[in-house]
Amino acid sequence: MGADTKDAPLNSANQRQKTMASPAQKISISAGDALIVVDVQNDFLPGGSLAVPDGDAVVPVLNRYLAEFSARELPVYATRDWHPANHCSFKARGGPWPPHCVAESPGAQFAAPLRFPSGTLVISKATQPDKDAYSGFEGTDLDARLRARKIKRLFIGGLATDYCVLNTVRDARRLDYNVYLLSDAIRAVNINPNDGPKAEAEMQHLGAKPITLAALGT
């Protein structure tokens, strides 16, 4: 990515337990809907400094969701960690993680195969040395941008289920958005074996509805 900005436009396998929506359930996307792609960055993919197991498997699925939203000219937002080199989440500063997604580094770039439509807005988070942020809403203007577009429903997928996806969904529900969790386009870190399923269960308890591509009729 180029400039360090929250809203720069873009031009161009864990074993998991899932509770899916019924195959018969179909959802039409239209005005008032937005797609949020959470942190699908190189450092979270296989070979990255903080790789999510099977993390690259979300990319082709997300591309199909991106195509659906693009075809209907619906807004797409892409969140990203955009850390300073001395970020508080890094082990050198007492945090839990190895250095990852350092701003302007190759590891911070979005996965190259992602096909973001023109006009995708990038939301950079955790950009300050002493403040962490797992949610795409924390310390950003994402909520203000969604409300300016009169967005009511959010379709959320990406990495990782048990951290940034979970916290983004938590905040989205707290802010009274209707949320659809893209169950076929998420993967978990699973530091503990059941962290992913527990996160999915929590998101559903909060009111997020799990769906797959089949729900959009693709």
Query: What are the φ/ψ torsions at residue 76 (nearest 5 degrees)?
Result: -125, 135
Coil, strand or helix: which one is 166? helix
Task: Give pLDDT, residue 216.
Answer: 87
Q: CA-to-CA distance for 26 and 146, rounded, in angstroms?
A: 24
7 is catalytic: no
What's the mean pLDDT when you consider all of the chain? 90
For residue 10, give both structure tokens.
């873009």
pLDDT over 60 at 3, yes or no? no
pLDDT bracket for residue 96 (50, 70, 90): very high
Pairing of strands 120-125, 9-10: antiparallel
- Catalytic position from the list 56, 164, 184, 195: 164
Task: Give pLDDT, residue 94.
Answer: 95
171 is catalytic: no
What's the N-to-C CA distance of the chain in angstroms? 30
Task: Give pLDDT, residue 217.
Answer: 64
- Catalytic position from the list 56, 81, 125, 195: 125
For residue 183, give both structure tokens.
């169950």
Higher pLDDT, 135 or 21: 135
Task: Give pLDDT, residue 153.
Answer: 98
143 is catalytic: no
Q: Which CATH number fits domain 9-216: 3.40.640.10, 3.40.50.850, 3.40.50.2000, 3.30.1650.10?
A: 3.40.50.850
105's CB contacts (< 8 A; 6+ apart) are none
Q: CA-to-CA distance for 77 and 28, rounded, in angstroms?
A: 19
